[in-house]
Structures are given as structure tokens and as C-alpha cells.
Chains A and B, each alone.
Chain A
Amino acid sequence: MKIKRILTAGLMGLSMGLAATASAEPVKVGMITTLSGGGSGLGIDVRDGFMLAVKQAGNKDLSVVVEDDARKPALAVQIADKMIQSEKVDILTGIIWSNLAMAVVPGAVAQGKIYISPNAGPSQLAGRGCHPNYFNASFQNDILPEGMGAYANKVGLKKTFIMAPNYPAGRDVLNGYKRFYKGELASETYTKLGQTDYAAEIAQIRASGADSVFVFLPGGMGIAFMKQYAQSGVSIPVMGPAFSFDQGILKAVGQAAVGAKNASHWSKDLDFPGNKPFVEAFEKEYGRLPSLYAVQGFDTASLILSAMKKASIKDTDAFRAALKEADFDSPRGKLKFGNNQHLIQTIYVREVIKEGDIYTNKTEGIALENHQDSYAAKCKM
């Protein structure tokens, strides 16, 4: 009996040893994202999307540590230092906001860590500041407004009233729209960041004689604007980048958003092999419809998992090459990276509709096919 037990133990030990050598190198991912304070809905969606992909893959070699940056750049930098130095993560990801990304990413990639952006896409990192270790699996900030501008030309809009908060991303978005839009501007209005009452601006829209309104008002600002706009009796069509019309927001806006056109790089009704299973799995797991942030989180995780199948994280060049291949079926179809390691992707126009009891988006058409951001040319890679 005793001998048999020793033998079994030995065999088990041997087989475990074999398993360890056969498996790939473990990869540790550090996720810094916004889970509390204003805008935490975005971080939660990114995390949940990411974790869904991790759970589905069941890859024991991938471990993830998640920390909350509370939307504070200083805190994000601190967490990044801790993750790199004491937790020894291989890959960083998770940051939602461009200003936080600018505080963390340049330092992290300079220390040899790979960073994959699941949301923020500041122009600096797409152009001259591009880096072999920086991948963007979401979007460059300008591409959605560019899509909207192209759409405005396509449907023959001639006089748009454009509005955004007075801060860098607000200016980038309006510039993105103007880069593609060929018509005349009724007005270019900048509001205070965090403003919640738009009565004065709506009165100006009413008096401006515009044929369309383009707004970039993320988070609570967009909710407030859409509700007040619906009450005002102004019936000029509203459009904007998808952030103001995404799943988390629509619940709070309700009927007031119906009919609004928005540009997005994903929609839940797109016909790709990866899309329907993703939407169903997400809804089953979390009991709500996925947002585009959830898609970006999911794709970030899928990207890492796909590279782990092909290369070891110890061989940075091979791993980066494997990331760049993006060999998996994304809910956005097959992903393709450009020279600056940002995605070349199709921008769709969606319309807000009511589906049963739920407000959601329906794809109406394509605004820009296989669109690359305007900064790629400045990147020397």
C-alpha cells in the first residue's frame, strides 16, 4: 500500500512538472481603471468586458490585478509605479481618460512594459509620441467626430451648430468634425466643463437657423443636454460621437435621445461572427447590455490572450508582433492595426431607438470605411 501511495505521489508530481513545462509563460496584467467617482460607469464596463474574455478563455497563465484610479492622474501614476515595481506586471491597461493616459503611458512604455489602451486615445500617442510598446485597442479620439463629419456631408447637411466643453478633448472632437465636414458652421460654442444647464445654448440653437446640431458632451453633461433639448421644442436633428449615446447613458436619458444619430466603431447589431456571442455572453454574465467600453475591454483581453498563444511574454519583439496580428474574432470583426499601432477601423452611424422597453442603438450605415486616424502619418514606425 505504502509503496503504491509513494508511487502515485511521485507520478502526480512528475505529471505536474510536465504540465508546467508544457504550458506557456505566465502573463500578469495590471489594470488601472476608474471604478469610483464621476465616470466610473466606463471603467466598470471596461473591467467587466475584459474579465468576460478572461473567464471565457479559462487560461490559467493569465492573471489580472485591478485597481481604482478614481479619475485622478496622480493616483494612476502611483498605482502604475506600484504595479511595475512590486507587483511585477508584464502588461498595463485599463485607463479611461486621456489626461490619465498621458500621465501614465509614456513612463510605463519607457520602462519596457507593454501598454494596451482600452479607451483613451490622445493624439499625442498616435502621432509623434507613438511607441512600439503602446497599442490602442479602442479608438483615437478624433476618429468618431471625423466619421460624423463625413456622414453630415453624405446626407447633405449644410449648416451645423457644433458644441463641446472647453477642454482639450472637446477641442479635439470639434476639430475632428470640422476636418471632414464641408458645410458651413452656424456656431462653434464651447461650454464650461461639467455644465449641467444648457438653456442658454438651446436658445441660441433655436435662433441660429442651423439644420443640424453636433454635440460632444460626455457623461452627465450629455444626459442633461438631451433631456433639456427634448423639452425645448427645438426639432433640429442632433448628432454626436457615440459616447453621449451609449448604453449606460441611454438608460438615464430615455425617450429624449430617440432619433439621435451617433458615430461609433461598434454597435450591438453588427453582423460579425464575434459580435452576437459576445453580446449574449455579456448580457448573461452581467444582466445588462454591453457598451462600447465593454467591447474595448473585451478586445483588449482577447488581444492579450491571442498573443499568448503565439509568443512568450519574455520575448518582447515576438510578443509585440503577435499582438499586432490580432488573430481573433472581435465583436468589431477582424481587427487591423496601422503603423502607429492604433486600429484601422470602420466608423458606423447609429440611431437611438426604443427596442421593447430598452433604449439602444441601431446601425444605420457606414460613415467611413477602414478609417485610419489623422496622426498616423506623423508616427515614425
Chain B
Amino acid sequence: MTSALFIEQLLNGLQFGVMLFLMAAGLTLVFGVMGLINLAHGALYMVGAFACAAVANATGSFWLGLVASIAAAAAAGAIVEIVVIRRLYSRDHLDQVLATFALILIFSEGTRWLFGSFPLFLNVPELLSGPIMLPGGLQYPLYRLAIIIVGGAIAVGLYLLIAKTRLGIRIRAGESDRAMIAALGIDIRLLYTVVFALGAALAGFAGALVGAIQSVQVGMGEPVLILAFVVIVIGGIGSIKGALVGAILVGIVDTMGRFLLPSFFQIFLDNVQANTVGSALASMLIYILMAIVLIVKPRGLFPAHG
């Protein structure tokens, strides 16, 4: 095994983690501020990817598609919040899960009705396509590198938003005591809609970024949603910092596990068996990680409320 391969895999893990962060940030905000379990978050990811693909195919510009993905997902998020989610805040989690699960089905079938069953075409923009030479003679896809940079910038931006702006103060206040913030004369309904739309926009943006290197198809959001839940459970529900650390941890552990475990088992098993055992264990690895974190720190790495 060469160090170039090792570094490449580390970058892959980082990139995967950054993508998960974009998903998990919205999920954890919505849960932290509103106490809502939103299973439909994956549907918003899909909305972003489809909006990007549709606009990019119609105009020929990936960048316009990217703008459209953010706009479409934020709009879908705001509409869903006003029409459905608003009625669920006072309900228990089972009702929330049921209603947002229904939203998954509605979004999936709606998308199929609009765009058909075949996957849509969406490719990496010309500007970012192909590999790039990194120092040390390592070849790495430019697009993935761009995702890492953009994701990092968004993480910093979110931190500044939450820590430094008036909106951020309100969001944090809403997290710790929603009755008090309402009593202070802040329009809590509007705040909730804004937070939900922000989370949706991040999910849609992630969907569009990933859609370009994966497949834009109905149901693409749900596998990512499960990982995003793992991330926020590991990171501590409601904490943006926890989401970032958790996402990068999950990204790197998953990628390195897929890469290292089969070679590890090859030391004492034959090739085929080692691959089978290694890859089976690799797909469980992040859940094992989650279990360990929950044993040591039952509220996650960075619990939001004290």
C-alpha cells in the first residue's frame, strides 16, 4: 500500500464527510430548534438534485442549475413547513415520523410523475471536470476537491451565522427556550419557517453537488438520510459543531473501513473470504462507531443543551 493511496482515501473520506455535513446540518438544526424529526429531509435532497438536473439540461449551465437547486429546495422546504410541518410541533414524535414519511412518498411519486422513472442526466461542469495533480504526484478529481472546499466554506459560514448574527442568536434562543423567545416578541413562526428553509436549501445544495457524480433518481435521498441521522446522533442532536465533527468522522471511518478492512483480513484469511468478511464488516462500521459513542457519551459528542 502506498502513501499516495492512503492520502487519496483520506481525501475521499473527507469529501464524503463534508457532503454528509450539508445534509446533517439542516437535520440537526430542525431537530434542535423545533424538536421535529424530519424524515422528509432526504426528499429535499432529491428535489435539489432534480431541480439542478432539469435546469442544467434546459439551459446548458450547471451553475444556473446549482442556483435553482438551492431555490427549489428552500421553496419546497418553506411550503412544506407552512402546509404540513407547522401542525406537527406540538405532536409527539410518532405523529411527526408518520407525517414526514408520508411526505417522502408524496415527493417520490410526484417526482416520478413529473420526470419519469429513468435517471436524469447531470454531469460535472467543464470547469471542474477531470483530475488534478496534487503536490506529491497524487492525482485527484478536481470536482471532489471543490466539494471539500465549498463544504468547508459552508461550515464556516454556518458557524458565523449561528454565532455572530441576530438570526443566529434567535435560533440559539429558540433552541434553549422557545416560550421565552416568543414572549420577547419574536415571530417564532417566521423563525421556524426560515430555519426549515435554510436546512432544506443545504440539503438541496448537497443533492445537486452529489447528483453530478452519482445518479439523479427517485429515492436517492433516503440512504443519505439514514447516514445523516447516524451523524447527528454521534455528534449530539441539535449541535452544528457536533454535526461537522460527526460527519467527518463517519465519512473517514466509512471510507477507510471499506479500504482497509479487506486488506486487514487478508493477513489471516484467503483472498475471497477476506473480501467478503471485510466488506461485510465495513458496511457495519459506522453503526458500530455510533454504538460505541452512545455507550461512552449517551448524548453524543457535543450535546446541544448543556
Cβ–Cβ < 8 Å partners of A255 in chain B: 123
Q: A197-B214, A200-B258, A251-B121 are in contact. Are A220 and B220 (CB under 8 A)?
A: yes
Q: A188-B272, A220-B119, A256-B123 are in contact. Are A228 and B213 (CB under 8 A)?
A: yes
Pull 21 A–B residue pairs with CB atoms less than 8 Å apart, ordered by A. Answer: A38-B218, A38-B219, A166-B280, A188-B271, A189-B279, A192-B279, A197-B16, A199-B9, A204-B5, A204-B259, A206-B139, A220-B217, A220-B220, A223-B217, A224-B214, A227-B213, A228-B214, A231-B129, A231-B141, A252-B216, A254-B121
| Contact of B275 with A by CB under 8 A | yes
Cβ–Cβ < 8 Å partners of A191 in chain B: 258, 279
Chain B 194-229, CB-CB to A under 8 Å as 1, else 0, gives: 000000000000000010111111111001000000
- Contacting pair B118 A251 (CB below 8 A): yes
- Contacting pair A231 B16 (CB below 8 A): no
A227, B8: Cα distance in complex, Å: 18
Q: A233-B139, A252-B216 are in contact. Are A41 and B223 (CB under 8 A)?
A: no
- Contacting pair B275 A233 (CB below 8 A): no
Interface residues of B in 173-189 (CB under 8 A from A): none
Q: A166-B279, A220-B220, A223-B215 are in contact. Are A203 and B117 (CB under 8 A)?
A: no
A249, B275: Cα distance in complex, Å: 28
- Contacting pair B130 A200 (CB below 8 A): no
Q: Which of A187, A196, A233, A249 contacts B214 (CB 8 A)?
A: A196
| Contact of A40 with B by CB under 8 A | yes
| Contact of B276 with A by CB under 8 A | yes
User: Residues of B within 8 Å of A, CB-based: how many?
Assistant: 50
Q: Which of A185, A187, A188, A203 contacts B8 (CB 8 A)?
A: A203
Interface class of chain A by DSSP: helix
- Contacting pair B276 A200 (CB below 8 A): no
| Contact of B170 with A by CB under 8 A | no
A56, B1: Cα distance in complex, Å: 60
Residues of A in contact with B, size category: 35 or more
Cβ–Cβ < 8 Å partners of A194 in chain B: 223
Q: A199-B144, A203-B12, A233-B130 are in contact. Are A40 and B223 (CB under 8 A)?
A: no
A290 to chain B, nearest CB (A): 14
A229 to chain B, nearest CB (A): 10
Cβ–Cβ < 8 Å partners of A190 in chain B: 275-276, 279
| Contact of A201 with B by CB under 8 A | yes
Which residue of chain B has its CB nearest to the CB of A288?
B118
From A37, A166, A191, A197, name the one whose CB has the most chain B CB atoms within 10 angstroms: A197
- Contacting pair A231 B131 (CB below 8 A): yes
| Contact of B165 with A by CB under 8 A | no
- Contacting pair B112 A36 (CB below 8 A): yes
- Contacting pair A207 B123 (CB below 8 A): no
Q: A220-B119, A223-B214, A227-B213 are in contact. Are A166 and B276 (CB under 8 A)?
A: yes
- Contacting pair B213 A224 (CB below 8 A): yes
- Contacting pair A232 B119 (CB below 8 A): no
| Contact of B300 with A by CB under 8 A | no
Q: A192-B283, A232-B141 are in contact. Are A37 and B129 (CB under 8 A)?
A: no
Interface residues of A in 14-58 (CB under 8 A from B): 36-38, 40-41, 44
Cβ–Cβ < 8 Å partners of B275 in chain A: 187-190
| Contact of A121 with B by CB under 8 A | no
- Contacting pair B124 A231 (CB below 8 A): yes
| Contact of A248 with B by CB under 8 A | yes
A349 to chain B, nearest CB (A): 25
Report B's interface with A, CB cutoff 8 A.
1-2, 4-5, 8-9, 12-13, 15-16, 109, 112, 117-121, 123-124, 129-131, 139, 141-144, 210, 212-220, 223, 255, 258-259, 262, 271-272, 275-276, 279-280, 282-283
A41, B213: Cα distance in complex, Å: 21
- If A190-B275, A190-B276 are given as contacts, then 10 extra A-B residue pairs at C-beta distance below 8 Å, sorted by A number, are A44-B117, A192-B282, A196-B220, A200-B255, A200-B258, A203-B12, A223-B119, A233-B139, A251-B118, A252-B215
Q: Which of B9, B16, B109, B283 contacts A203 (CB 8 A)?
A: B9
Which residue of chain B has its CB nearest to the CB of A37?
B219
A193, B218: Cα distance in complex, Å: 17
A37 to chain B, nearest CB (A): 7
- Contacting pair B215 A220 (CB below 8 A): yes
Q: A190-B275, A206-B139 are in contact. Are A233 and B223 (CB under 8 A)?
A: no
A256, B121: Cα distance in complex, Å: 11
A185, B121: Cα distance in complex, Å: 33
- Contacting pair B121 A252 (CB below 8 A): yes
Cβ–Cβ < 8 Å partners of B13 in chain A: 200
- Contacting pair A200 B121 (CB below 8 A): no
- Contacting pair B117 A41 (CB below 8 A): yes
- Contacting pair A199 B118 (CB below 8 A): no
A228, B143: Cα distance in complex, Å: 10
Which residue of chain B has its CB nearest to the CB of A178?
B272
A232, B15: Cα distance in complex, Å: 14
From A187, A200, A232, name the one whose CB has the most chain B CB atoms within 10 angstroms: A200
Cβ–Cβ < 8 Å partners of A249 in chain B: 119
- Contacting pair B214 A227 (CB below 8 A): yes
B195 to chain A, nearest CB (A): 28
Cβ–Cβ < 8 Å partners of B214 in chain A: 196-197, 220, 223-224, 227-228
Q: Which of A197, A204, A252 contacts B119 (CB 8 A)?
A: A252
A192, B223: Cα distance in complex, Å: 12
- Contacting pair A41 B118 (CB below 8 A): yes
A91 to chain B, nearest CB (A): 26
A341, B19: Cα distance in complex, Å: 49
Which residue of chain B has its CB nearest to the CB of A42?
B117
A40, B219: Cα distance in complex, Å: 12
Cβ–Cβ < 8 Å partners of B1 in chain A: 207
Cβ–Cβ < 8 Å partners of A166 in chain B: 276, 279-280, 283
Cβ–Cβ < 8 Å partners of B9 in chain A: 199-200, 203
A231, B142: Cα distance in complex, Å: 8
